[in-house]
Structure 1
Amino acid sequence: MTSSGGTVLFLEHEASRTGASIFLLRLLGWLKTDSNFDFQTLAGRWGELLPEFRSVGIVDTFEPEPKLIYRVLRRLKSNNWQQSKHLATLREKLVRSDIRLIYANSVASARMLDFLSFLRCPVICHVHELDGAIQTVGSQHIHMLEKRKPHYIAVSHAVAENLTRKYRIPANRVRVIYGFVPVPEFSPAEANLQESIRREIGIGREPKIICGCGSIEHRKGTDIFVEVAVEVIRRNGDIPAHFVWIGGSREGVETMRKHLIRLGLADRVHFVGSKSNVASYFEAADIFLLTSREDPFPLVMLEAALHEIPIVCFDETGGAPEFLLHDSGFVVPKFDIGKMSDKVMELLASPRLCKRMGAAGRQKVISRHKLSAGAQEIANVIGETLGLESGAPI
């Protein structure tokens, strides 16, 4: 869409290093170079990815800059005047921006829609949440969205089914577009990253690495990851294995490390914290363990599959089984830790099976979940919502 056709306003609720924020950042990067849409972003909070969003396009924030005085006033609940002044200035700016479409990147970002009621334009909501996450942010966000009767993009059929069954969203307003990731070409240098990662963690060349990734919380099943590690290490004397979890806050990592010391597993289970080079860890890993109790369609699953790692997940986790389909890993029933441990053991014992499943996963990402194809599909939805001619170049 050219500038004469107006601007798309993307809503990002926190600009943090999480799946939904990273997804939007990649999408905007593609739109900037491969489409004719004019867009800008409104971020709900000042997250660590905000500078990267600003490198892609214009970014405003729903909250004032968190300088010391504002943080103190907010803690004292005396920031209303400053917040109101900031929002008044923001409203004036957005009114002048000729916004023709609001694209909310998550249910959580719907909290900004009430403020944006002065923008009378269509709304698209890209739903990255299943019901547990929706309940955590507040189901009232769905009601805020429904005031605008948006079109929804669901990242998996599990997400779409939750919207239509639990929240009675008409199926004709819900479209499934699976998650997607960049598909880089790996160089020989990148293929040798695993040695440096093993040195960093303190693991020799022989042991196998079972990897997990995400924030340290109940929903991501960090406790299940440790329980599976306990079971596999107990049973797996012949093939030494190390478990490595990437992600989590500094406090969460420290808590888990203390827990592992009490269990006597600190030398076999490693919580390495948040990393910018996650791909390097996937390159070193042999198996990816997706222990989430709820996960709509995790991008880390696709990124792990790109590195030809077989994946083990639960059948009730969300969208992951829709990707695996029993050829790229194993789907374990009903959060059964013993059966998940069995599948890890089976993969550890069969390098040939690991290789076959890993290759199937990588090919599936390349053919079905490539950034350029997925982003173009979303660009088409935006064009349709704006009433652009069918088949017109985006």
Structure 2
Amino acid sequence: SEKGHMDLIEAMKLLVCAKRSMECNLVLVGFGPELPRLQAAVRSLGLAFRIAFAPDESDIVPFLYLADLFVLPSRSEGCPHVLLEAMGAGVPIVATAVGGIPEILTDGETAVLVDGRRPASLANGIMRMLQSPALARRCARQAREVLGSRFSTETYVRNLFTIYADVLDSIEADSSCACPAPLA
């Protein structure tokens, strides 16, 4: 699936094998019809004690406020709304650098960005964030600031007015051209 849940499950296996003493648990939200396949993979990898599945209709926001980390393992993505929700919740983010995600987040400043479709890269990004509480706090704070400055209603309206002004200016410039007289 393009959501990358299987990549995250495989990354979790790598984390559990690499850091046996580390308490690392995962709650998957938003998996749709992939649930049976994902549950089977979790069982076959011996991760049933580490990975839980939220009911598919669950609102992710309450989970964000309880999480130590939000991971977006997408294989392709536009501008994911859930990413903006995670930024607003102030939770540190690890995400794949696909689609529009690098236009929203900056590696090492507002998140840890990793290569898509690579569970090892995802596992390394998760470890990087979990092993550096200072990085996690800084990224979460800066992501929240970016959300407020770039994605607020005020910013949206200001940008919309700028676009309208540019369109009106171009229409006025075009109307000053010599146009044929209307037919009578």
Q: Sort the TM-score into its range (normalised by shorter chain).
A: 0.7 to 0.9
Deviant stretches of 4+, over 6 Å: 382-387
Query: Do the aligned partners of 1:286 and 1:309 also contact (CA within 8 Å) in 2?
Result: yes
Task: Indicate which of 224, 227, 247 corresponds to 2:7.
Answer: 224
Query: Do the aligned partners of 1:253 and 1:272 also contact (CA within 8 Å) in 2?
Result: no
- 5 Å-filtered alignment, 1:1-394, equals 218-249=1-32, 251-315=33-97, 317-326=98-107, 327-333=109-115, 335-374=117-156, 377-378=159-160, 381=163
Query: Do the aligned partners of 2:110 and 2:143 also contact (CA within 8 Å) in 1?
Result: yes
Query: Which amino acid in 2 is paired with 1:311?
Result: I
- Where 2:54 maps in the other structure, the secondary structure is strand
Give me the whole-angstrom Cα distance separating, in 2, the residues matched to 1:385 and 1:275. Answer: 42
* CA distance 1:255–1:334, change in 2 (3 Å): closer
Richer in helix (by share): 2
Q: What's the CA shift for 1:304?
A: 0.6
* CA distance 1:380–1:286, change in 2 (3 Å): same
Give me the whole-angstrom Cα distance separating, in 2, the residues matched to 1:335 and 1:280. Answer: 27
Give me the whole-angstrom Cα distance separating, in 2, the residues matched to 1:274 and 1:332. Answer: 26
Query: Do the aligned partners of 1:236 and 1:345 also contact (CA within 8 Å) in 2?
Result: no
Query: Do the aligned partners of 2:69 and 2:92 also contact (CA within 8 Å) in 1?
Result: yes
Give me the whole-angstrom Cα distance separating, in 1, the residues matched to 2:122 and 2:41. Answer: 22
Give me the whole-angstrom Cα distance separating, in 1, the residues matched to 2:9 and 2:58. Answer: 23
- Percent identical among aligned pairs is 25
Q: What's the CA shift for 1:357?
A: 1.1
- Where 1:241 maps in the other structure, the secondary structure is coil
> If the length of structure 2 is used for normalisation, what is the TM-score?
0.79
* CA distance 1:241–1:384, change in 2 (3 Å): same
Query: 2:180 — aligned with what?
Result: none
Q: What's the CA shift for 1:382?
A: 6.8
Higher relative contact order (CA 8 A, sep 6+): 2
Give me the whole-angstrom Cα distance separating, in 2, the residues matched to 1:375 and 1:253. Answer: 40
* CA distance 1:324–1:229, change in 2 (3 Å): same
> If the length of structure 1 is used for normalisation, what is the TM-score?
0.39
Q: What's the CA shift for 1:312?
A: 1.9
- Where 2:25 maps in the other structure, the secondary structure is strand
Report the count of equivalent residues: 170
Give me the whole-angstrom Cα distance separating, in 2, the residues matched to 1:295 and 1:369. Answer: 18
* CA distance 1:219–1:366, change in 2 (3 Å): same
Q: What's the CA shift for 1:303?
A: 0.9
Query: Which amino acid in 1 is paired with 2:147?
Result: V
Query: Which amino acid in 1 is paired with 2:106?
Result: L
Give me the whole-angstrom Cα distance separating, in 2, the residues matched to 1:376 and 1:252. Answer: 41
Output the aligned Cα RMSD: 2.7
Q: What's the CA shift for 1:253?
A: 2.2
In the alignment, structure 2 segments of 5+ residues that lack a partner are 173-184
Richer in strand (by share): 1
Query: Do the aligned partners of 2:16 and 2:22 also contact (CA within 8 Å) in 1?
Result: no
